[in-house]
Structure 1
Amino acid sequence: MDASRDRAALARAGNPRNNDAVRKYVAEFIGTFVLVLGGVGAAVLAGDHIGFQGVALAFGLSLLAMVYVIGPISGCHVNPAVTLGLLLSGKMEGKDAVGYVVAQCAGAILGAGVVLLIAKGMPGGYSAVTEGLATNGYGAASPDGFNMGAAFLTEVALTFLLVLTVLGATDARAPVGFAGLAIGLVLALIHLVGIPVTNTSVNPARSLGPAVFAGSVPMGQLWLFIVAPLLGGATAAAVYRTVFRPAVPISAEEAERALRREREARIAEDRAGTRAPV
């Protein structure tokens, strides 16, 4: 009877590793939803009032907030290029990568859909196909008419900057607690540079979300905003592994176990009331 009760209890509790994975995927879904809602929403709903500088800030602030909200759960990638960079640099397990990317794309599509529904409430309505829904593009679809080559190079270079910042700011030797600030600010900087060229992607999920609703032109150009950011992320991982390689390599699994132990210790301190205020 005791063995039967134990098995039933384990069945109800589920597999802790599976539960952890689901929580990570849900966190990535929420984080990417917020990034698109905040950034694309600012461009579509408030762009005429705040200009592209305000849109750049909206993307940066959205990411900065999510780093501290979902970072403890999933690491706050909210971007397939970041996930690839972390995977190639050995900072995450390969078994989680596909789930992260699926969750990110789903969150981006939902975020873009919500922005579109709100935009349709404007006087006279709103057409994603006509107005663009802040999609990314080159040539005639570029805000300032930049060609495909310039767009590709811009996306590779800016994604390289973003992913290298993520990798460096989250390195064990980086100042503790400031990663979110560095990552959010660099995303704002990236948008200040990239908005006139491509409307700034550096994130395949961010590009996919609005493109789903905006017709054939954005979907036809979507390949560039998948390939270029992934190439930029992979290049950043290669540079990180060369320049920042620790003297004693730590596997992603070992780092994840250490992080879990640290979180459990902090929770125990909070419950006991012994943890010093931050």
Structure 2
Amino acid sequence: MSKRLAAEFFGTFWLVFGGCGSAVLAAAFPDLGIGFAGVALAFGLTVVTMAYAVGGISGGHFNPAVSLGLAVGGRLDWKDLIPYWIAQVLGAIVAAAALYAIASGKADWTAGGFATNGYGELSPGGYALSSALLIETILTAGFLIVILGSTSKIAPVGFGPLAIGLALTLIHLISIPVTNTSVHPARSTGVALFAETAAIGQLWVFWVAPLIGAAIGALIWRGLLAPDEGAL
């Protein structure tokens, strides 16, 4: 179990450090920055690379919502859910702390939003709470369907991480303007602790909506789409 939790810690660390780091560091320059599309791709690449690296150890969740969805889908023992969540949240916090330490080395840098998620004034496009709840729920549900489908027995072997990483890239391309894209409660938590905005006060949205969405996606897969896999 210790190796599985370590894999979840490092996988989540890599996702937050790489994904949020691309937003805080690489997208910060108007002329040289990578833009929304670059940030979206960076999040997808973090999942692909770490899923291949350590996914075979822990299942490659790197996200509390994914762990919940896989428990609902019969792919994770319920007794392992809370330990996975703890490892993921710790990985996200350590990644955010490391990113803050690096970014603060620039003389005129301020944390500002620090790649946090939000609605209303904290939404990049000024979208309301209702929009944030709906898009985070829908996209997390879709993400779980992709995860469960691409790792099922009928899926091509070895291509699951690519499908999952591309799905996360697509999710970011859709929702960065709305919420700055969460679908990941630990990712939202880690950076919110270092932001200079009211992100902590809105953090509940980015736990509630992804967890509900993950459960919905897992139930849709299990009830309507899943092939006969024994465990399902």
Quick check: TM above 0.5?
yes
Pairs aligned (count) = 228
Matched with 2:2 is: 22
Q: 1:209 pairs with 163, 166, 190, which one?
A: 190
Residue identity (%): 51
TM-superposition CA deviations, 1:76-114 (whole Å, max 9, x none): 100011000000011111121111000000000011111
Tell me the SS of whatever aligns to 1:240: helix
Structure 1 stretches of at least 4 aligned residues deviating more than 6 Å after TM superposition: none
- How many angstroms apart in 1 are the aligned matches of 2:169 and 2:226? 27
| Distance in 2, Cα, partners of 1:185 & 1:82 | 16
- State the Cα distance separating 1:244 from its structure 2 match: 2.9
Q: How do 1:93-242 and structure 2 match up within 5 A?
A: 93-124=77-108, 126-128=109-111, 131-215=112-196, 217-242=198-223
Partner residue in 2 for 1:267 = none
Structure 1's 154 and 94: CA in aligned 2 closer, same or farther, altered over 3 A? same
Matches within 5 A, 1:53-72: 53-72=37-56
> Given the alignment of the two structures, is residue 38 of structure 1 paired with residue 18 of structure 2, yes or no?
yes
Higher gyration radius (CA): 1
Root-mean-square deviation (Å):
1.2
Tell me which of the two structures has the higher relative contact order, counting C-alpha pairs closer than 8 angstroms and 6 or more residues apart. 2
Report SS of the residue matched to 1:200. coil
Deviation at 1:214, TM superposition (A): 1.5
- Counterparts of 2:229 and 2:164 in 1: how far apart (Å)? 26
Residue 34 of structure 2 aligns to a residue whose secondary structure is helix
Distance 1:176 1:248 in 2: 15
1:86 is matched with which residue: 31, 53, 70?
Answer: 70
Q: Distance in 2 between matches of 1:33 and 1:167?
A: 23
Unaligned runs of 5+ in 1: 1-20, 252-278
**Partners of 1:45 and 1:216 in 2: how far apart?**
18
Structure 2 distance, partners of 1:165, 1:248, is 16
- 1 or 2, which has the higher helix percentage? 1
Q: Give SS of 1:109's match.
A: helix
